[in-house]
Amino acid sequence: MSARTKARRRALNILFSADVRGDALPVALAAEAQRAASEPERQASWLYAREIVDGVVDHADEIDEQIAAHSRDWKLDRMPAVDRGLLRLATWEILFNDEVPTAVAIDEAVELAKELSTEDSGAFVHGVLARVARST
């Protein structure tokens, strides 16, 4: 598994846990930063995970607007928390990270959705992200 794939998974864990617990993302990120300081062997995945979460925090309104606009008949608060986190993560990569090809951002999110969420989540995440990508 590549360092970026590990970082996406780590970022998703932060996004998901903050969402489920009702914590502010900066608080969840600070807690993860403390944990990361004691795990130097995971430093490579931590740096990109932090970049993702910081990006989601910095662009939260725009990201959520894009997701809401392209998730036909699904409000953000009705989506499974895993799907919501994946959509935020991948939408940030599509819109704000020129280093990641759009297809890679979508594929990684879809694979995580298939692994970690509902039976229909892979197709749902793919559809929303494809529409976000086409709109840019």
Going by pLDDT thresholds of 50, 70 and 90, the confidence category of residue 64 is very high
pLDDT for 115 beyond 80: yes
User: In 3-state terms, what secondary structure has residue 82?
Assistant: helix
User: Structure pTM?
Assistant: 0.94
> Across residues 95-121, what is the average pLDDT?
97
pLDDT tens per residue across span 18-37: 999 999 999 999 988 888 88
Residue type, 25: L
pLDDT of residue 83: 97
- For the chain, strand residue ranges (E) read none
C-alpha span between 67 and 76 (Å, rounded): 8
Sign of CA dihedral 78, 81, 85, 87: negative
Contact assessment for residue 63 and residue 22, using Cβ atoms and an 8 Å cutoff: no
pLDDT at residue 129, rounded to an integer = 98
With respect to CATH, is domain 3-135 assigned 3.30.1360.120?
Answer: no
H or E stretch covering 7: helix 3-21
- Rounded to the nearest 5 degrees, what angle is found at the Cα of 124, between the Cα atoms of 120 and 126? 120
**What was the pLDDT predicted at 97?**
97
Helix (H, G, I), strand (E, B) or coil at 49: helix
What residue spans define the domains of the chain?
Answer: 3-135
> What token pair was written down for 15?
């996004």
pLDDT interval class at 109 (50, 70, 90): very high
